[in-house]
A and B are shown apart, each in its own frame.
Chain A
Amino acid sequence: MAILEVEALSKSYRQAGGESTPAIQEISFQVDQGEFVSLVGPSGCGKTTLLMCMAGLLAPSGGRVVVKGEQVAGPPRNLVLVFQEYNRSLFAWRTVLGNVLFGLEAKGNSSRDTEKKAKHLLGLVGLEGFERHYPWELSGGMQQRVAIARALAYEPEVLLMDEPFGSVDAMTRLELEDSLLKLWKELCTTILFVTHDIEEAIYLSDRIQVLGRRPSRVIGDVVVPLSRPRDQLATRADGRFMELRNEIYRQISGDGVS
């Protein structure tokens, strides 16, 4: 069953001259409960705009987003957005533990075992022993782990992620991908993951929505037939992985030329 439906979503920005330029145009797709779906597209194609509309942080110019049968008018209760820039979204005045506790507090969870729960989540993202540190004392990859743990503490049914691994180094990125898959399996959440990295999208997802150039629309819906659990070496060496990568690459680069 679809937990997330995007129907003919459009968003235009008003320019200085008064005319409006469309960022995204008539985007439609669905995400099923428990599914891991990625959105790939060229840089600057309006992916962030799309996510902001889906998270209820930006009002769309047309179309609608439906989460669990309810149309999104403001930020929905059962959905959280993880930003790319963890260093701007983490609370510098709270410790690592305090940041994760924020997710629980926001949910209205104020029982006595919140601290135990937060510590458990920090263990899941591999940050045991860093509870008392401040975010700025950690490396970029670790900070994004804190942001993910904070989002998971809110127990969202849908997790939107906006290029979350876009500003960490390549090795850390691979580690974070595997951590995310482990968490996704363990917590049975639905994830919509935005990236401009085609291989990352294939490695993580069940299904990929391919977006075209600005104003972007969906130009392809690709099912990833690769088995799980995935492995950074074996999965990426699979012949079908290569084929998919080439196909999606052709779709994106061919768009707009024709």
Chain B
Amino acid sequence: MSLSRRINAPGLATFAVLLFLWEVSARLNPVMGAYLPPASRIVQSLFQLAFSRELFTHLIVTLGRFLAGYLLAAMIAVALGIVLGYFRRAYNLCEIVIELLRPMPSVAIIPVAILMLGIGNATIVAVTVYACAWPILINTIDGVRNIDRMLLDTGRTFGLGRWRILRAIALPAALPYIVTGLRVSLSIALILVTTGEMVVGSSGLGFFILDEERSLRTGNMYAGIALVSFLGYALNRLFVWLDATAMKWHRGMTAREAL
């Protein structure tokens, strides 16, 4: 792939024009500048905060909560999804509960978590786990249901028991679906961690953003927002890279089938 195709020049130009308009209008209009400081000021705030290590600490805290919630949700939802997708009876047992809980906006569970777990880390992580688990669970169930019967029969004729079939065949065969669920949950995790920190946190980027806003340090607030956006971007890029590496077989196969 050539460099000119990877760099989206018109897109960058749009971004540059918007930055310029923002900078100029914020400088020319002091009233607006109070709410939306010039972009250069925000960059300046970011640098100052980076050297003070304050923002860095909040970033690490947020990242830790994100990883704990996301990975825990992934483990629980994938394992549960495979079992529910494979065993019809297990799914029937849970179907109504799943259908009732799934449409509920996950943030609605925050007060429940506060009641049960108090104000702090546990609540933020628990709410993240809860919210992230749904897309992964639903996609995993779908993925296992869509596995070709013949693949499972292949496992059986090779003498594999049910649990070995689940691990050696159902899990990898459902992986393209599972990855889709994991990708959706990635952004959900960051939303829930940030929201949780705003509501019950005393640290983390969500807390920092809200705290700076209340202290009328608008520049710092925007610096926090910029950082959390960048975190989302970076995590997504990392996911895409991992996906491309681990799922090379699937990409190659679907590209071949599309021919």
Interface residues of A (CB under 8 A from B): 52, 55-57, 74-75, 77, 79-81, 83, 85, 88-89, 91-94, 102-103, 105-107, 134, 136-137, 154
Measured CA separation A74–B148 after assembly (Å): 20
| CB pair A57 B159 closer than 8 Å | no
Among A75, A85, A134, A137, contact of B157 (Cβ-Cβ < 8 Å)? A75
| CB pair B151 A89 closer than 8 Å | yes
| CB pair B156 A88 closer than 8 Å | no
Within the complex, the shortest CB–CB distance from B180 to chain A, in Å, comes to 16
| CB pair B253 A136 closer than 8 Å | yes
Stretch at the interface among B168-176, B195-203, B231-239: B168-176
Measured CA separation A93–B172 after assembly (Å): 7
| CB pair A106 B153 closer than 8 Å | no
Quick one: given A85-B150, A88-B150, are A57 and B256 in contact (CB under 8 Å)? no
Quick one: given A88-B151, A91-B151, A91-B169, are A81 and B253 in contact (CB under 8 Å)? no
Check B160 for interface membership: any CB of A closer than 8 A: yes
| CB pair A93 B157 closer than 8 Å | no
- Could you show 19 A-B contacts with beta carbons less than 8 Å apart? A56-B157, A74-B156, A75-B159, A77-B159, A85-B150, A89-B154, A91-B173, A92-B250, A93-B175, A93-B250, A94-B249, A107-B159, A134-B253, A136-B252, A136-B256, A136-B257, A137-B256, A154-B158, A154-B159
Measured CA separation A190–B62 after assembly (Å): 62
Measured CA separation A75–B133 after assembly (Å): 36
Measured CA separation A30–B175 after assembly (Å): 42
* CB-nearest residue of chain B to A154: B158
* CB-nearest residue of chain B to A57: B153
Interface Cβ pair total, 8 Å cutoff? 62
Measured CA separation A91–B148 after assembly (Å): 11
Quick one: given A57-B153, A75-B157, A80-B158, are A88 and B253 in contact (CB under 8 Å)? no
Overall SS of chain A's interface: loop
Determine the chain A residues whose CB is within 8 A of the CB of B159 once the complex forms.
75, 77, 106-107, 154
Within the complex, the shortest CB–CB distance from A57 to chain B, in Å, comes to 5
* CB-nearest residue of chain A to B246: A93
| CB pair B252 A103 closer than 8 Å | no
Interface residues of B (CB under 8 A from A): 148, 150-151, 153-154, 156-160, 168-169, 172-173, 175, 249-250, 252-253, 256-257
| CB pair A57 B151 closer than 8 Å | no
| CB pair B158 A103 closer than 8 Å | yes
Among A55, A77, A83, contact of B150 (Cβ-Cβ < 8 Å)? A83
Measured CA separation A77–B223 after assembly (Å): 64
Determine the chain B residues whose CB is within 8 A of the CB of A88 once the complex forms.
148, 150-151
Determine the chain A residues whose CB is within 8 A of the CB of B157 once the complex forms.
55-57, 75, 79-81
* CB-nearest residue of chain B to A92: B253
| CB pair A134 B156 closer than 8 Å | no
Within the complex, the shortest CB–CB distance from B202 to chain A, in Å, comes to 45
**Residue from the set B154, B169, B172 with the largest chain A CB neighbour count within 10 Å:** B154
Having A57-B156, A77-B159, one finds 12 other A-B pairs with CB under 8 Å, namely A52-B153, A80-B158, A83-B153, A91-B169, A92-B250, A93-B250, A102-B168, A105-B168, A106-B160, A134-B253, A136-B257, A154-B158
Determine the chain A residues whose CB is within 8 A of the CB of B150 once the complex forms.
83, 85, 88-89
Within the complex, the shortest CB–CB distance from B36 to chain A, in Å, comes to 49
Determine the chain B residues whose CB is within 8 A of the CB of A52 once the complex forms.
153
Measured CA separation A80–B160 after assembly (Å): 12
Within the complex, the shortest CB–CB distance from B163 to chain A, in Å, comes to 14
Within the complex, the shortest CB–CB distance from A114 to chain B, in Å, comes to 15
Within the complex, the shortest CB–CB distance from B252 to chain A, in Å, comes to 6
Measured CA separation A106–B160 after assembly (Å): 7
Measured CA separation A178–B3 after assembly (Å): 51
Determine the chain A residues whose CB is within 8 A of the CB of B151 once the complex forms.
88-89, 91
Measured CA separation A79–B249 after assembly (Å): 30
Within the complex, the shortest CB–CB distance from A2 to chain B, in Å, comes to 21
Determine the chain A residues whose CB is within 8 A of the CB of B253 once the complex forms.
92, 134, 136
Determine the chain A residues whose CB is within 8 A of the CB of B158 once the complex forms.
75, 80, 102-103, 106, 154
Measured CA separation A56–B159 after assembly (Å): 10
Within the complex, the shortest CB–CB distance from B155 to chain A, in Å, comes to 8
Within the complex, the shortest CB–CB distance from B233 to chain A, in Å, comes to 29
Within the complex, the shortest CB–CB distance from B140 to chain A, in Å, comes to 16
Measured CA separation A94–B173 after assembly (Å): 10
Determine the chain A residues whose CB is within 8 A of the CB of B256 once the complex forms.
136-137
